[in-house]
Copies of this chain bind each other. A is one copy, B any other.
Amino acid sequence: MPAKDIYHDAVKTALIKDGWTITQDPLSLRIGKKDLFIDLGAEKLLAAEKGSDKIAVEIKSFVGPSEIRDLENALGQFVLYENALSLTEPDRTLYLAIREAVYLDLFEAEIGKMLLERNIIKLVSFNPEQEVITRWIP
């Protein structure tokens, strides 16, 4: 299993404050002979009889020397996991969790906007000090 991201516990706390129940830590899935691990699985009950919202959350710290390299790595994990999840659990939606500061820096710039406008990636941003979710971009 891969090492936990430095913001793992902050995101977990922020999701719980946002009304989610953490159901997997990590969420593992298998495609053929390969095992994949997504940082968190969570659920939130909807109004009666409507079942529940299910998400998977991959947390990326973006603390490397190259922001573009960090973006590429996050994007590769996101695309691989999203495709794998659609085979194993099609009703679970994957989100990439990033700090609010990373959102402002990368996803309000052209390169990040391009990925959001084309629905390549779904984001949840968080404030790591206050341990709260700041926005969902489905």
A residues within 8 Å of B by Cβ? 31-34, 36, 68, 71-77, 79-80, 83-84, 87, 109-111, 114-115, 118, 120
Cα–Cα distance between A68 and B28 once the two chains are bound (Å): 14
Report if A36-B68 is in contact (Cβ < 8 Å); known contacts: A31-B111, A76-B73, A80-B75. Answer: yes
Once the chains bind, are B75 and A34 in contact (CB under 8 Å)? no
A83 adjacent to B32 (CB under 8 Å)? no
Task: Tell me which residues across on chain B come within 8 A of A36, comparing CB atoms.
Answer: 68
Known contacts A84-B114, A114-B84, A115-B83: does B109 contact A32 (CB below 8 Å)?
yes
| A39, chain B: closest CB distance, angstroms | 14
| Smallest CB gap from A76: residue in B | B76
A19 shortest CB reach to chain B, Å: 30
B contact residues around A71 at 8 Å (CB): 76, 80
Contact status A32-B72, CB under 8 Å: no
Name the contact of A83 in the complex, choosing from B73, B83, B120 (C-beta under 8 A): B120
Instruction: Check B114 against A31 for contact (C-beta < 8 Å).
Output: yes
Give the residue of B33, B72, B111 whose beta carbon is less than 8 angstroms from that of A110.
B33
